[in-house]
Chains A and B, each alone.
Chain A
């Protein structure tokens, strides 16, 4: 199994770059080279009750900040190991292909461990993908402590509440997690704050341990204030998705003195016709999720 440990070195370089070489950053207009639009699949399905959504879009020029146009007229379905078939429909013609549980359905869509196979037919091309849904450990406790203003590397943290959490990696297998933090229901969506873990840390060798401090720290991208509510979602995403998100994060935060040559993130949505030169981009993930919330006094 491949180790993915960009984290500490990444943080180190970021710190080095920011602290020592603030350098100069100028927003510039550049003529980015052109590329053909591609079908983009954003398919993260989970074990939570309710609807599941798969977003199909067409990619646009990188610096075009308008929303991506929908990819319409596709047929989308997922089958699982139990032989169940879930059909996703774009009833609103906005590229969001939705599956709704039928009324009275008691068995949820996501049952870890299970394997899900995605099939998309779009403009005569057939794309497929498969993803395993791993189990998710419980968050044993979610607490907080009040911290005075403090600097951490180049960052200044205001006084406020910092989350504490106790949770352990599931022992005996390679697991990967994505911790998503929300303040008053708003997701901390800065790519720098994407908080990923491989087992209890950043790679094999940390199997079964408590999640280590950098991961806990990062549950608090900004200190929480009195009366605010924090929600922590622990997503068990599986190692392939960890690799994908890790690389995506690197690409989105690939800045400064120690930037690497940009590269494409992989896709696990593959054209069944090996001879076709039409490629899809994007990712299919089956994740299981636990959620804990806390309100600050």
Chain B
């Protein structure tokens, strides 16, 4: 079977390569700082051939010998055009100049097609860091993840919720990659800020569907965050001072136009003011978070390039001084990537990836106290190849092997100097994948992107595989047997085939129809049953009891551009997603330090469906977008909700985002964001019991999510003022004033019920708002 597949592959590769053609290839860069540009469309006009640069800025186009116009038109840059004579394989490095306001009038109006129409991929949103910087930010801190939350199909449980939900998926259904390294917790301070330093980010792309075969491992989305390479032409410094963070970054060439680096850091400094506060509680407290992002790249020669990038971030909290209570958590990632070009048409990249997320919390000392630690650690190798056989095919193939170590939690405690240890032992798994895909321009109107990913998963020893009673119960299941495995032994394997297919059909020059299907699998699971995920949630591998999660998604969309300059982009997309092996929890599940965790889990199905409307204006003085999503996401988990479907806890029927920005003049720009979303579902108790003097809530209908909290809406505004350049125009700086939650609404995060403080026999309903007031802020940014 395997051989047959390989043989067919070979035949097909021969077939599409059997033409006498010439290739032009190279990289597309920003002329100012030498940053490679991702997704820039490079066109050989007369050959009707077009290719978008890959994540390393590389393009390769093949056509019969002849003279052609090579054109690159990319948003934010002046169009590039050059006559090229293809006699033999050619290398051409392209540098694009940034378009500035004054030059707008002379922009060439070419018969180009909008970027959104040209790509076969759908359900995708690209955010460049410039537009992210215009969005009014909470406490003035420009934030990648909070910007992503304004896109259609993306929701969040609320402020303070780590992560985001894409098309009805859980937060762990998002594959978040920082330069190819998976990030397990994208948040500082419980979700108020994301870990990505805006000064070090080049490009952010969110894929919600039609995910190509080279990506896998999560059900719902891919958030691909690419770091800047660092200015290869001259040293550059960026910085900012805001109420929460201060930022500073340096980028510079090591060898001009050959090697460069970027080093960016942020640190919060609220704690620096603590000694001034006359409150014992706060005075002795430590609360801060920081992150460092670093990257270096080296162009060895035309065919070889090396990248090394890394991230270290940490949140630290400590109360009550030495012996007091505290915790800290953070991610570390490292990626080493090596690009090699075989000939002109085969681009390869090999990535070595490390990622670690851990948290630790403790109280007291070694006489009496405890210390708790948990982590997830990943090592991965990922060879990937892109082959550009001719102008109609782009073939991708490769693989990935990932070794995981999970420490689900170890508690060491000291009682009277006596040391004891609780918790589960480490778990291990190995995930392998092979994939191949082809983007095929069938004719001028139809493009197909088809791929297949084979994933193989192994739950590895040492460890104990437990077998549980298989009765369905709303309470913890007991084990009936267990079997111990030694180191490296395969305890359980799963194989899955994941077909991916996207189609694009051009209706006319201004509109296209796209459709996609993808199957995704997921073998790492975030165990969390809180409304908002916490940094202390535990990642667990698939086991003999926890099957890999599966999702099948179909999506259909209509894309159309309007306006003389095609400056208005509009789309409507509908999707339906079926999810299998979804994890839910028995009543009162104990998810911490529990080696019999699987007995606390329930398995169910999910379905999510909706329609997303999106209108965007990307060019001009006035930019922004409106997105409206009407969607449902539901779960069916026996015996919860008496065995009936119920809305999942992040279900929001209506979701409206309006993001606008207006450049009043060269110096001043104004932005506003409005968000409106239906309230999330909640389970309210129906009855009260009184047991041993305590009022205990009871739901006599045994239902789940039987009601909904009020809707969420919020308006934020900001003003960006560019100050006059200093030092002969080399020092640029601006001021950003932003106001979050302008009309001071107390948006409900949840409604809960509690005993009255004075009289515990009286119960009351409490509406909890995470941000209960207007939040103004002020940030000063500079670069030189």
Interface of A toward B, CB cutoff 8 Å: 2-6, 8-9, 11-13, 15-16, 19-21, 23-30, 32-38, 40, 42, 44, 55, 57, 59-65, 67-68, 149-154, 156, 187, 189-191, 194, 200-206, 209-214, 243, 246-248, 250-266, 281-283
Contacts and interface: CB of A to CB of B under 8 A. Distances in A.
A263 B587 contact: yes
Contact of B764 (A3, A16, A63, A253): A63
B523 interface: no
Nearest to A30: B765
Given A213-B415, A262-B699, A59 B765 contact: no
A13 B599 CA distance: 24
11 contacts: A3-B590, A13-B536, A20-B189, A20-B190, A26-B766, A59-B687, A189-B693, A191-B755, A212-B370, A252-B694, A261-B682
A152 B320 contact: yes
B694 A25 contact: no
B588 A246 contact: yes
Given A32-B765, A190-B757, 4 more contacts: A28-B751, A201-B420, A250-B588, A257-B770
Contact of B688 (A62, A149, A206): A62
Given A16-B190, A26-B746, A36 B700 contact: yes
A282 B684 CA distance: 19
A63 B763 contact: yes
Nearest to A247: B588
Contacts of A247: 587-588
B602 to A, nearest CB: 12
Contacts of A252: 694-697, 754-755
Interface of B: 160, 189-190, 280-281, 284-285, 287, 317, 319-320, 324-325, 327, 361, 363-364, 368-370, 372, 411, 413, 415-416, 418, 420-422, 474-476, 478, 529-532, 534, 536, 587-588, 590, 592-596, 599, 649, 682-707, 746, 749-755, 757, 760-773
Contacts of B372: 8-9
Given A258-B530, A261-B531, A264-B698, A248 B691 contact: yes
A8 B588 contact: no
B280 A151 contact: yes
A254 B689 contact: no
A205 B703 CA distance: 36
A202 B543 CA distance: 26
B587 A266 contact: yes
A156 B281 contact: yes
Nearest to A255: B752
B684 A32 contact: yes
A61 B687 contact: yes
Nearest to B536: A9
Nearest to A36: B700
A259 B752 contact: yes
A38 B700 contact: yes
A23 B704 contact: no
A35 B701 contact: yes
A37 B687 CA distance: 7
A297 B512 CA distance: 85
A5 B319 CA distance: 22
B361 A20 contact: no
Given A151-B281, A257-B770, A281 B698 contact: yes
A59 B766 contact: no
A263 B588 contact: yes
Given A27-B765, A28-B767, A282-B689, A12 B361 contact: yes
A28 B765 contact: yes
A19 B319 contact: yes
Q: Which of B287, B686, B691 has the most CB of A within 10 A?
A: B691
Given A20-B287, A21-B190, A252-B754, A8 B411 contact: yes
Given A38-B700, A200-B415, A255-B766, A206 B694 contact: no
A61 B686 CA distance: 6
A38 B594 CA distance: 33
A23 B688 contact: no
A211 B588 CA distance: 24
Contacts of B595: 3
A62 B686 contact: yes
Contacts of A256: 752, 768
B163 to A, nearest CB: 14
A210 B773 CA distance: 47
Given A15-B319, A191-B755, A264-B699, A2 B693 contact: no
Contacts of B280: 149-151, 156
Across chains A and B, which 4 residue pairs bring their CB atoms closest together, nearest first? A24-B772, A35-B686, A35-B700, A247-B588
A11 B532 CA distance: 16
Given A26-B767, A65-B761, A252-B755, A257 B415 contact: no
Contacts of B773: 24
Given A26-B746, A266-B588, A251 B696 contact: yes
A248 B698 contact: no
A204 B594 CA distance: 10
Contacts of B763: 62-63, 65
A255 B692 CA distance: 21
B471 to A, nearest CB: 14
A42 B420 contact: no
B699 A260 contact: no
A23 B415 contact: no
Contacts of A34: 686
Contacts of A189: 693-694, 760
A209 B415 contact: yes
Given A8-B361, A68-B688, A153-B325, A23 B701 contact: no
Nearest to B418: A209
B325 A23 contact: no
A265 B370 CA distance: 29
Given A27-B764, A257-B770, A261-B531, A205 B690 contact: no
A242 B485 CA distance: 33
Nearest to B765: A30
Contacts of A265: 587-588, 696, 698
A3 B594 CA distance: 6
B476 A2 contact: yes
A20 B192 CA distance: 11
Contacts of B593: 3, 5, 203
A255 B686 contact: no
A210 B753 contact: no
A62 B685 contact: yes
A30 B547 CA distance: 40
A251 B757 CA distance: 16
A265 B691 CA distance: 11
Given A25-B767, A203-B593, A252-B755, A260 B529 contact: yes
A5 B587 contact: no
Contacts of B422: 3, 5, 201-206
Contact of B413 (A26, A212, A255): A212
A262 B683 contact: yes
Nearest to B161: A257
A15 B287 CA distance: 13
Nearest to A68: B690
Given A12-B361, A62-B763, A257-B749, A5 B694 contact: no
Given A35-B686, A44-B692, A23 B770 contact: yes
Contacts of B536: 9, 12-13
Contact of B697 (A6, A19, A149, A251): A251
Contact of A6 (B590, B689, B696, B750): B590
Residue among B160, B687, B746 with max Cβ neighbours from chain A (10 Å): B687
B284 to A, nearest CB: 8
Nearest to A256: B768
Nearest to B370: A8
A78 B769 CA distance: 48
A28 to B, nearest CB: 4
Given A15-B319, A20-B189, A29 B700 contact: no
A8 B423 CA distance: 13
A154 B320 CA distance: 10
Nearest to A19: B319
